[in-house]
A and B are shown apart, each in its own frame.
Chain A
């Protein structure tokens, strides 16, 4: 791949920015306790792009919301740790957590129109995001406590310039004209760009993107992904991309995490996961992507359906749909096996030629010795 050199460069300065350990998020329902996230551990390195892939309801979005601690009641985070720059986010006070949201960890959503406030022009919304965390007053050239009308005016103008810069950075054409337009006057792609501008306003360390292109058409999708990649390169913002589109993740991410029924089933670099998938679910996902080619190939759907999260079978959650399932798959918990550096699979098949199970800590430890 053409990005190999860049990737190895990323690997060499691996530094855990965000570590999720044994995260468990549950929702009590009438049918029982739904474990939407059942013990997920993953590591996000500084300025990398990590993809979380899986079907609807596999817990990928809930994982993101858990990181921001925005699980709405009656759902709750039952266990685990979320270490961000040395602090466990789960132990922060509500007030401290508010300072993390938006400032350190920002998020971009699936449906941009409903995410923008319909009452205000887009430019003002971007500008407002500068105020939430007092970013604009922290600027060296702006007076921290502007007094009087003219000074305030000056500060407003410098902020407006900043907003215009942000708007042109995310590729909103003629930002001067669009500053005062309302969200509904923007096209879907432009709305998403505006949202990215809002997310970027505070220069976050981590950008969580929850299916940011699902509601957009394919050409716009590519533009938005390019934009996210550029932001990642130029600002060093680590990006977590949640998507059900394995193709998209393969093209865009450096590492991929595959989730199934609230569990992490496979993780590794793009090459490891896409070119030599070890988990039958990952393989299934790859064979059911339709391709445009001369030969007409039937796409192969994965038989069966996603298990009811309130009643996930013991053992491997994928076993009922797996063609290689053995009796051993249906008992006990399946550990993550390390196939090669960084490539881990939660499958007993992987255990045959993989290294010894790593039951306690599933987070990827820094593998600097092997580089």
Chain B
């Protein structure tokens, strides 16, 4: 048993070392695709903003001053540089709130995708490898979940669970794993028929070792790529739910609810709804560009050699 455990540890250490070696190659491929690189830089910028939100902002994201309601952006007549993007209906600095809103968006997105990848990959790999009743059961359940439109499903679950961060993640992940399940299952079905898998059995490897250290490394890249693409989608889902009031609750800054509250003042103060909306657009677009680029770089089927 311990021999097997160290064997796995070993196998994965080898893998990690290879990945590290692959980074140089990866960096070069990225350099050749400036748009993808730009997308990556934007994503990285948002990530840093989320992590360092407390350090890089000077205003309080929760509490404003009613004397400063609807300050316009700095470049407009009457704008102040202390509030670069203006203030909202409660006199809170918009830029500060957008930066703090990044936290919610990325946290929900990463957490949801993380759970989905984990659950979906494990179940999909097991279903695709073992087939039989396990596959039947999981696939039918996945079909059932796929029959619901995501937003309607999420609205229903959130209405049932009530708003809030953990419930939001749960609601999104509850359906999010299906995509990864289907991908992992499909890839597994294709891989398990290949001869190297059979050779591994001939060499005396057990099922779990074959799945974890022979097949998974061959399909992990497409799962990773799908993960980045789904990240943008999950961020939109969070924003949508927050927009209709079922997601993150005010006063916690979340882009969706910021757009929703700004909607009422669209004619008086266009910036309140516009800038959070632009933030959603920019982040999701950057993630998608980066994800597509990753697919081009990582997918071995698109490689010429």
Residues of A within 8 A of B (CB): 68, 70, 98-103, 106-107, 109, 111, 114-121, 124, 127-129, 131-134, 137, 145, 184, 195, 198
A254 CA / B260 CA spacing, docked (Å): 84
Q: A101-B201, A102-B202, A102-B203 are in contact. Are A117 and B218 (CB under 8 A)?
A: yes
165-216 of chain B: CB within 8 A of chain A = 194-196, 198-206, 209, 213-214
Interchain CB contact under 8 A, B7 and A132: yes
Interchain CB contact under 8 A, A70 and B202: yes
CB-defined A-B contacts under 8 Å, sample of 19 = A68-B202, A70-B201, A70-B202, A102-B205, A117-B214, A117-B217, A117-B218, A118-B300, A120-B15, A128-B11, A128-B14, A131-B7, A131-B10, A132-B7, A132-B203, A134-B3, A134-B7, A184-B305, A195-B199
A198 CA / B203 CA spacing, docked (Å): 9
Q: Cβ of A70: which chain B residues have Cβ within 8 Å of it?
A: 198, 201-202
* Residue of chain A at shortest CB distance from B199: A115
Interchain CB contact under 8 A, A98 and B206: yes
Interchain CB contact under 8 A, B194 and A101: no
Nearest first, the 5 closest Cβ-Cβ pairs linking A and B are A102-B204, A102-B203, A101-B204, A114-B195, A119-B217
* Residue of chain B at shortest CB distance from A146: B6
Interchain CB contact under 8 A, A132 and B205: yes
B77 contacts partner chain A, Cβ-Cβ < 8 Å:
no
Interchain CB contact under 8 A, A109 and B18: no
Q: Cβ of B7: which chain A residues have Cβ within 8 Å of it?
A: 131-132, 134
Q: Cβ of B198: which chain A residues have Cβ within 8 Å of it?
A: 70, 115
Q: Is the interface of B mostly helix, strand, loop or mixed?
A: helix
Interface digits, B1-44 against A, CB 8 Å rule (1 contact, 0 not)?
01100110011001100100000000000000000000000000
Interchain CB contact under 8 A, A109 and B195: yes
Interchain CB contact under 8 A, A119 and B218: yes
Interchain CB contact under 8 A, A115 and B196: yes
Interchain CB contact under 8 A, A120 and B18: yes
Q: Cβ of B203: which chain A residues have Cβ within 8 Å of it?
A: 101-102, 106, 129, 132, 198
Residue from B3, B11, B202, B300 having most chain A Cβ neighbours under 10 A: B202
Q: A131-B11, A134-B3 are in contact. Are A118 and B196 (CB under 8 A)?
A: yes
Q: Cβ of A101: which chain B residues have Cβ within 8 Å of it?
A: 201-204
A98 CA / B205 CA spacing, docked (Å): 7
Interface digits, B275-300 against A, CB 8 Å rule (1 contact, 0 not)?
00000000000000000000000001
Q: Cβ of B2: which chain A residues have Cβ within 8 Å of it?
A: 145
Apart from A119-B218, A132-B204, what are 14 other A-B pairs with CB-CB below 8 Å?
A98-B204, A98-B206, A99-B204, A101-B202, A106-B203, A114-B194, A115-B195, A117-B196, A119-B217, A120-B14, A131-B11, A132-B203, A145-B2, A145-B6
225-266 of chain B: CB within 8 A of chain A = none
Q: How far is the CB of A103 from chain B (nearest CB, A)?
A: 6
Q: Cβ of B201: which chain A residues have Cβ within 8 Å of it?
A: 70, 101
Q: Cβ of B202: which chain A residues have Cβ within 8 Å of it?
A: 68, 70, 101-102, 106-107
A106 CA / B213 CA spacing, docked (Å): 20
A116 CA / B196 CA spacing, docked (Å): 5
Q: A102-B204, A132-B7, A133-B204 are in contact. Are A121 and B195 (CB under 8 A)?
A: no
A370 CA / B15 CA spacing, docked (Å): 57
Residue from A107, A121, A131 having most chain B Cβ neighbours under 10 A: A131
A143 CA / B2 CA spacing, docked (Å): 14
Q: How far is the CB of A269 from chain B (nearest CB, A)?
A: 29
* Residue of chain A at shortest CB distance from B2: A145
Q: Cβ of B195: which chain A residues have Cβ within 8 Å of it?
A: 109, 111, 114-115
Interchain CB contact under 8 A, A109 and B300: no
A109 CA / B204 CA spacing, docked (Å): 15
* Residue of chain A at shortest CB distance from B10: A131
Interchain CB contact under 8 A, A137 and B196: no
Q: How far is the CB of A126 from chain B (nearest CB, A)?
A: 11
* Residue of chain B at shortest CB distance from A199: B203
Q: Cβ of B214: which chain A residues have Cβ within 8 Å of it?
A: 117
Q: Cβ of B206: which chain A residues have Cβ within 8 Å of it?
A: 98
Q: Cβ of B209: which chain A residues have Cβ within 8 Å of it?
A: 132
A120 CA / B196 CA spacing, docked (Å): 11
Q: Cβ of A114: which chain B residues have Cβ within 8 Å of it?
A: 194-196
Q: Cβ of A120: which chain B residues have Cβ within 8 Å of it?
A: 14-15, 18, 217
* Residue of chain A at shortest CB distance from B201: A70
A121 CA / B22 CA spacing, docked (Å): 12
A227 CA / B238 CA spacing, docked (Å): 62
Q: How far is the CB of A63 from chain B (nearest CB, A)?
A: 15
76-111 of chain B: CB within 8 A of chain A = none
